[in-house]
């Protein structure tokens, strides 16, 4: 009886190990919501939240909440500083101890036209402070995103962008994120985007993710009479 029990236990362990899934095996989802409050000709306040799932509507992966102050140098150039907090579960199979992060981000966004194509360049420097169950660490990360937008009509548009992520100590790209999506203008200042992201990570993972985003803008500037 003991031999049978041992064999069944070994078989169960083998099956469990074999049945482990990876992040690449699943079509995950990212949910985003961003709100921009314009308070003056030169200033605006931005709030942003992001929620990742390893699977469609299941299996928590990542949550980010941040707030930023934007300084509008001119209509083409905006400088921003963000303060953020995140909660990260790095294991798709088990509910492992989470990693918590405080983040400071400096950003510049530059927009221009190349012929008839609208382009935007986003440069970010992130200072990330991690807290795990028994340890603390910090790391810096550089990000550059090149994007464009094509209007199909007054209601619909196509959004494309590609982002490269690296560290100041390395000239190599540690992650690449390619995104394409269909945008719907629900008003002059608000839109919804339904898209797809291909994310290649430093762990050589090739992740396929759906992305659903909502963006709102409000304007508290006094209207000129």
Q: What angle do CA 190, 194, 195 make, to 5 degrees?
A: 130
CA distance 13 to 15: 5
Of 147, 146, 103, 110, give the one whose Cα is nearest residue 125. 103
- Contact in structure between 86 and 64 (CB atoms under 8 Å): yes
First-to-last C-alpha distance (Å) of the chain: 91
Give the number of other Cβ atoms within 10 Å of residue 214's Cβ. 14
Q: Which two tokens stand for residue 130?
A: 């991690």
- Contact in structure between 125 and 132 (CB atoms under 8 Å): no
pLDDT tens, N- to C-terminus, the chain (225 residues): 555 444 444 443 434 444 456 777 789 999 999 999 999 999 999 999 999 999 988 899 999 999 999 999 999 999 999 999 999 998 888 777 899 999 999 999 999 999 989 999 999 999 999 999 889 999 999 999 999 999 999 999 999 999 999 988 776 778 999 999 999 999 999 999 999 999 998 878 899 999 999 999 999 987 765
Sorted by where each starts, the structural domains of the chain and their CATH numbers stand as 28-219 (2.40.160)
């Amino acid at each position: 009886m003991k031999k049978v029990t041992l064999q069944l236990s070994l078989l169960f362990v083998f099956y469990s190990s074999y049945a482990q899934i990876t992040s690449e095996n699943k079509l995950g989802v990212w949910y985003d919501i961003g709100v921009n409050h314009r308070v003056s000709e030169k200033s605006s306040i931005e709030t942003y939240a992001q929620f990742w799932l390893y699977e469609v509507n299941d299996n928590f992966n990542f949550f980010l909440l941040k707030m930023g102050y934007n300084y509008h140098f001119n209509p083409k150039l905006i400088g921003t500083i963000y303060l953020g907090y995140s909660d990260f579960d790095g294991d798709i199979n088990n509910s492992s101890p989470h990693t918590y992060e405080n983040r400071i981000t400096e950003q510049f966004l530059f927009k221009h036209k190349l012929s008839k194509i609208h382009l935007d360049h986003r440069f970010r420097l992130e200072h990330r402070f991690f807290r795990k169950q028994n340890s603390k660490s910090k790391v810096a990360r550089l990000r550059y995103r090149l994007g464009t937008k094509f209007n199909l009509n007054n209601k619909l548009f196509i959004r494309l962008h590609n982002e490269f992520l690296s560290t100041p100590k390395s000239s190599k790209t540690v992650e690449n994120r390619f995104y394409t999506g269909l945008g719907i203008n629900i008003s002059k200042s608000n839109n919804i985007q339904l898209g797809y992201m291909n994310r290649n990570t430093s762990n050589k993972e090739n992740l396929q993710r759906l992305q659903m985003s909502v963006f709102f803008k409000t304007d508290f500037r006094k209207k000129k009479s």
